[in-house]
Structure 1
Amino acid sequence: MDDAQSAVLLVAPSFNASLIGAGPTGAPLQPLFGNVDFKAYNIDFENRAANFSISQALVTDISYANASFYGCAFASYQDTWYTGRNASTYVVDSIIYGQTDCEPALRLLSAIFFINKFADLFGFGTAWFEKVTLANRACGGGIVAWKGTNLTDAPGNRYGAYISNSRIIRSPYANATAVTDGKCFLGRPWNDLATTVYLHTFMDDSVEPVGWTPFDSARPVIMNTTFYAEYHSYGPGGNTSARIPLEHVLTDEEARAFTVDKLFLGRPEWIDHEYVS
């Protein structure tokens, strides 16, 4: 399903550029770029389509744009956060409420700093989440579902989701009957070029010990072109000893390659580096 028009916040240069599209390649590539410096501070975004999962209910759709968020909250159930094609996003000191869907399209939620909500994040661009809390309302698939593409289609775009100095927890607002212990995968590949990296992240016991899962029964193998990595995960779900063999447990030297400046190929002017929580 492609219902980007239901997003609470949509930052894109055209309607077609906002579309998500299905499958590994998504909606057709657009020769457009929109807002180069969108910023939001201390705003709560909520999609009130229902108080339970009803398929996609996006809070954000950021596509073909640069956008950053400071001290915000993002609330929905399935597919809360979307960083779209050729988009770059940065989220800090924020919270994301959501759940991982139980069917094929798992999304990476939202994040809010020091707050206990969980998020379902999905995307096709480059997203950095710093000091966020991902609070699970329920678990079924992966916390993050991401796509990648070749640099011919998006020169300079380092596709992937990067979660740093953050927390993964069960939401205190989760339904009492929702079973989350050992049920939440860290991610699954929306296509075979997916990249997801967790750095210095607390993980509660909702995290599945193997960490990562294939997309669905039609694509039952995680290919070696997919890059999944962790560095200094901690907490009950942070033990990497049972992770899938494909995962990279980064060394100190390897982890130094994952910084905001290196991922965005320079010090991004569209990020407020002076922000203090």
Structure 2
Amino acid sequence: MDNRNEAREFLMSRRAKLAPDQAGVAVSGHRRVKGLRRSEVAALADVSIEYYSKIERGNLAGVSDSVLDSVARALQLDHAEREHLFDLARIANGAAQPVRKRKAKAWAARESLTRSLDAITNGPAFVRNGRMDILAANALARAFYGQVFDGPGRGNLARFNFLDQRSREFYPGWEAAADVSVAILRTEAGRDPHDKELHDLVGELSTRSDAFRSRWGAHNVRRHGSGTKNFHHPDVGDLTLTYEGMELTAEPGLSFLIYTAEPGSPSEDRLKLLASLAATARQQAAAALPAIEASQEPS
């Protein structure tokens, strides 16, 4: 992705979102500019209008951390937005140049990581990357996200969100879920602009989904740490789950997420039912396997 264009559009979008009264800027008369003017951001950041204009044109190479901090404060960037700005500056300064290397092997979960996932039995637990591919999951997560794997999503949460109509039932608050999905991808694009698979995913979704394309243009970013989400699972119904997301120290760029239900709640009962249904389905599949293998043997 074009780092300079990304920085320019990101900063312009943040400036447009910040109303003068939010920034403590006195205004009078008619304003043609949505949000703050460049001169007002420059004054708030204590830099010249010429220098801020250069920054907003996407020229982040050589901009000091102290100036980036000042711009972040002036634009009232949240933690994720500030990190995104610093990621863009890091890349502009040559910290993410592509390196010629052999084609990487397909990622596979370490046995210890798989055991850790399987040890969690009371809630869906899974590992995903910044492109929102589910890379590894415990049994309950595979049952919970069954639709993500068996349709257009092909194991990718963003693709499921925008290309599978079932997602609009799975996420009762679909609009908010869609916003978060795109914001996570935007954050990843700032962190690793040379990720070809991410380029391909964004291109696919932009071509096939108007809802994705409009959100991608908003330049919102997000870190996925913790919170509460509502779901409607096709087998067990409504679920309200809290989640915790942790970065894997041994696997940079990957996140370990766990969903849990409040003890004694209807959601906990429904998660237990889902776990029981999934266990029964696995047992039935295991029982049927010998008969299938026998039927395939040559006579």
TM-score under structure 1 normalisation? 0.22
TM-score by length of 2: 0.21
The structure in which a higher percent of residues are helix is 2
Structure with max Cα Rg: 2
Greater RCO between the two (CA within 8 Å, min separation 6)?
Answer: 2
